[in-house]
Amino acid sequence: MVKDNSDNYSKLFYRIFFITLIVKLFLSYFFPLTGDEAYFITTGKFFDFGYYEHPPMIWWFIYLFSFFGKYKFHYFFYRLFSVFSTSLVGFLIFKLISRIDKEKGYLIASLFFLSPVHLLGFLITNDTPLFLFTFLSGIFFYTGIKTERKVHFIISGIFFGLSFLSKYFSVLYFLSIFIYIIFKREKKLWFNFLIFLISSLPFISINLYWNYTHCWINFLFNLVYRKKQDCFKIKNILFFFLSLFFLLTPYFFYTLIKSKFFIRKKFEEKEDFFYFIFIIPVIFFFLLSFLREVGLHWYISFIPFIFILLKEEKKEKILKALKIAFQFEIIILTPIISLLFFPVSIFKNHKNYPEIIMFLNPYPLCEYLKNFENEYIFASIGYTESAIMSYYCKNDFIVFGDLSHSGREYDINFDFKEIDGRDILIFSPRDIDLEKYAEFFKEIKKEVIKIEGASFYLLFCKKFNYQNYRDKILRKIYEKFYKIPEFLPARGNFFKEKYGF
């Protein structure tokens, strides 16, 4: 007689879920706000159908909070969307697997909750809606294959459209489905794929039209401006395997290697859908690793699908994977949580100590700058500093003189003509070359202030000369980022029209 361990596994499942949830909520509240998160929050208060670097989804979620007040919420509340998304995916994994085997459903979902994808998935990134909507789309497409009901393909297409509005890595998911259908060679799948595609088009069209009217900046940013030129480095390939080892948890990754999962694997009918959704992006990232380093976060949208395939393994192996995953996460989380309790002064000898102070204890800076908020427009020379200081000081810092390809959402939201003749206070955690900005102002005075032993630099700039700034800086920005390639059809050029180039 086979022993039924459902009750024991159920208790284990909920125990792991609530423990990991408490850990995630703790980290969400105490882990310092990152530069990218601050950028999303401070630019997300402006509603648009697109934003400079990426499609709009993460900004839309943030924009909902702006109805209750600009910068009113602690970043913890923004992070709750990420906490919710990863938790929902874990429960969906359980629900899907438990239809066949409830015990394995509990165990595999528990393993997912112990994976870094879940435990460390609390930051505000555009990978979060991509992760959620890709998974939901995949689940409904798979359900459509099993039930042969058209409505599931429609819903799957809608979620794919939403994932496309989250991040362009959704194209890899689309490619995976396309290759799967070619491989299966079933006519009805082609028809259902067409339904899936048509259902996604309204959402894809939003992004395409916005880019058509905004210099194609999403595509140019991702394909041209941020493109890293690199050569073959063995460390990038090693990092590829270490990333999978880390995200899948050690023993789970070991079992995949041992079973030759990445080379050949047979599945029950229709289960190979999840294999394609996982393996095609992984192959792409592996090949890409020969040319450049592949970001750890690039994988997370495809990781949950492979957890579903773990149901073919024996319960003993899943239990062993759970045990090792628990130990592995303790090793990872212990130093992270410990660092949160150390005083900031332990970083005093670090070369980036001022930046660390800006991230960990910016309030004294804000208190000092508050003395000048009625007289000066606040600015910084980089988007990260502008975003962090805008959030904590609850006062918008403009980006001044920056020619970086990142953080150019400020080009859309701000017009330098409107501050011609005004006084500007430029803040930086690094020394500022006063002469670099002298031609844009009538008078400049430099000041250095000390906060917890770190030096911060301020330029008090009188009478901003817009015309000089337009000719020397804005023209360079236009030439570098907003000259639309001739082969791309476009409707207008907001930057050119704004500044009369």
For residue range 344-357, list pLDDT tens digits in order.
889 998 999 999 99
Q: Is residue 319 part of a domain?
A: yes
Where is the domain boundary, 286, 311, 339? 339
Q: Is pLDDT of 206 > 70?
A: yes
313 and 370 together in one domain? no
306 and 423 together in one domain? no
Burial (CB count <10 Å: 0-12, 13-18, 19+), residue 265: middle
Identify the DSSP state of 124. Answer: -
Tell me the C-alpha distance between 58 and 123, whole Å: 12
pLDDT over 90, % of the chain: 82
b/e map of 327-338 (b: 16 or more CB within 10 Å)? ebbeeebeeeee
pLDDT given at position 70: 60
289 and 423 together in one domain? no
- Integer CA distances (angstroms), 211 to 53, 169, 490, in order: 11, 17, 8
235 and 370 together in one domain? no
* Helix 315-341 and helix 6-30, axial crossing angle in degrees, nearest 10: 20
Average pLDDT over residues 181-199: 94
Where is the domain boundary, 339, 365, 400? 339
37 and 113 together in one domain? yes
With contact defined as beta carbons under 8 Å apart, do 250 and 120 qualify? no
Considering only CA atoms, which of 141, 145, 240 is closest in space to residue 197?
Answer: 141
Q: Is residue 348 part of a domain?
A: no
CA 337 from centroid of its chain's CA atoms: 22
Considering only CA atoms, which of 126, 121, 163, 122 is closest in space to residue 40?
Answer: 126
Where is the domain boundary, 314, 339, 364? 339
DSSP β-bridge partners for residue 426? 379, 459
Q: Is pLDDT of 162 > 70?
A: yes
47 and 195 together in one domain? yes
What is the tally of structural domains in the chain?
Answer: 2
Q: Is pLDDT of 72 > 90?
A: no
pLDDT given at position 1: 39
Q: For 114-216, where are the alpha helices, taking DSSP H only? A: 116-119, 127-147, 150-164, 170-184, 187-212
pLDDT band per the 50, 70, 90 thresholds, residue 228: low
Q: Is pLDDT of 106 > 80?
A: yes
pLDDT given at position 61: 93
Mean of the per-residue pLDDT values of the chain: 92
100 and 167 together in one domain? yes
Q: Is residue 217 part of a domain?
A: yes
Average pLDDT over residues 45-63: 94
pLDDT given at position 358: 96
335 and 395 together in one domain? no
- Specify the DSSP element, H or E, that contains 336: helix 315-341
SS (H, E, C) 411-435: HHHCCHHHHCCCCEEEEECCCCCHH
Q: In what order do the strands lie in the sheet with 441-451?
A: 398-399, 377-380, 424-428, 454-464, 441-451
Q: Is residue 13 part of a domain?
A: yes
Q: Is residue 299 part of a domain?
A: yes
Q: Is residue 344 part of a domain?
A: no
pLDDT given at position 6: 80
358 and 257 together in one domain? no
pLDDT over 70, % of the chain: 96
Q: Is pLDDT of 2 > 60?
A: no
pLDDT given at position 378: 98
Residue 318 tokens read as: 């899943």
- Among the ranges 17-21, 64-68, 290-294, which has the highest mean pLDDT value? 17-21
358 and 404 together in one domain? yes
Q: How many CB atoms lie within 10 A of CB 43?
A: 24
With contact defined as beta carbons under 8 Å apart, do 428 and 453 qualify? no
| Ramachandran area for residue 466 (φ above 0: left; ψ -120 to 50: alpha; else beta) | alpha
With contact defined as beta carbons under 8 Å apart, do 57 and 162 qualify? yes
364 and 321 together in one domain? no
Counting runs of H as helices and runs of E as strands, what totals does the chain give? Answer: 23, 5
Q: Is pLDDT of 226 > 80?
A: no
Question: pLDDT (tens digit, 9 = 90+) per residue, 112-137?
Answer: 999 999 999 999 999 999 999 999 99
Considering only CA atoms, which of 397, 395, 413, 380 is closest in space to residue 71?
Answer: 395
Q: Is residue 94 part of a domain?
A: yes
Q: Is pLDDT of 48 > 70?
A: yes
Residue 116 tokens read as: 């870094």
Q: Is pLDDT of 3 > 80?
A: no
Q: Is pLDDT of 400 > 50?
A: yes
DSSP line for 338-374:
HHHHS-GGGGTTSTTHHHHHHHH--HHHHHHHGGGTT
178 and 283 together in one domain? yes
pLDDT given at position 266: 62
* Helix 75-98 and helix 127-147, axial crossing angle in degrees, nearest 10: 20
- Enclosing domain of residue 413: 353-499
Q: Is residue 31 part of a domain?
A: yes
Tell me the C-alpha distance between 49 and 55, whole Å: 8
